[in-house]
Chains A and B, each alone.
Chain A
Amino acid sequence: GDSVTQMEGPVTLSEEAFLTINCTYTATGYPSLFWYVQYPGEGLQLLLKATKADDKGSNKGFEATYRKETTSFHLEKGSVQVSDSAVYFCALSDLLTGGSYIPTFGRGTSLIVHP
């Protein structure tokens, strides 16, 4: 079945440092890929997405490129802020037989940014 693997956290950085959170996936079809962010005490919210190979999703300074050849969707940001401290989830959505889908999530990576 489909699966998503994320690097374990927590990732601890100083403000303005470069961020990379690795995500790799296995899927039987041609999935769409997502990054969600969860701030403390809240539900997940969509950060960015990419729907086909070589697409780049971007939002709020974060970027991720859909790499089919390496089955990866790594999240990057050039200069993190304290307000980026949160848990980040990589996810995929694959069209299953019958026309329905069930999203698959990674386990999440906690990011802590110090001033």
Chain B
Amino acid sequence: NAGVTQTPKFQVLKTGQSMTLQCAQDMNHEYMSWYRQDPGMGLRLIHYSVGAGITDQGEVPNGYNVSRSTTEDFPLRLLSAAPSQTSVYFCASSYRGLIYNSPLHFGNGTRLTVT
């Protein structure tokens, strides 16, 4: 199993550009989520999904869109990039079901710079 795969690993955008960060998992996990990691701020939840067709906002959703058309994929879209979105982005997934204390499985991150 590949686990959680994120692409690209690095990206540089100009202010106002749009892009999609890809996330795919092959573990049949129901729960998927996106975090951003900034120095001194820890991990902040952007959006999450508890199953295909279901998404919800996390702590810092502004400027980001998500969709969940399949169990495997959970792309994160930046509509109009801003320098404040410079960060490292992590996708994470977990089995939900009755075992709610299942740990998260993380991808290796996408380092995004907006100039």
Binding site for B on A (CB under 8 A): 32, 34, 36, 41-46, 49, 51, 89, 93, 95, 99-103, 105-108
Contacts and interface: CB of A to CB of B under 8 A. Distances in A.
B101 A89 contact: no
B48 interface: yes
A52 B40 CA distance: 30
A34 B92 CA distance: 15
Contacts of B45: 102
A106 B101 contact: no
A89 B43 contact: yes
Interface residues of B, number: 23
Interface stretch (B11-19, B64-72, B79-87, B103-111): B103-111
B53 interface: no
A100 B43 contact: no
B106 A44 contact: yes
A101 B42 contact: no
11 contacts: A36-B103, A49-B101, A89-B43, A100-B31, A100-B50, A102-B33, A102-B48, A105-B42, A105-B43, A107-B42, A108-B42
Contacts of A106: 42
A10 to B, nearest CB: 12
B101 A32 contact: yes
A17 B17 CA distance: 49
Nearest to B51: A100
A101 B106 contact: no
B103 A34 contact: yes
A106 B4 CA distance: 22
Nearest to B43: A105
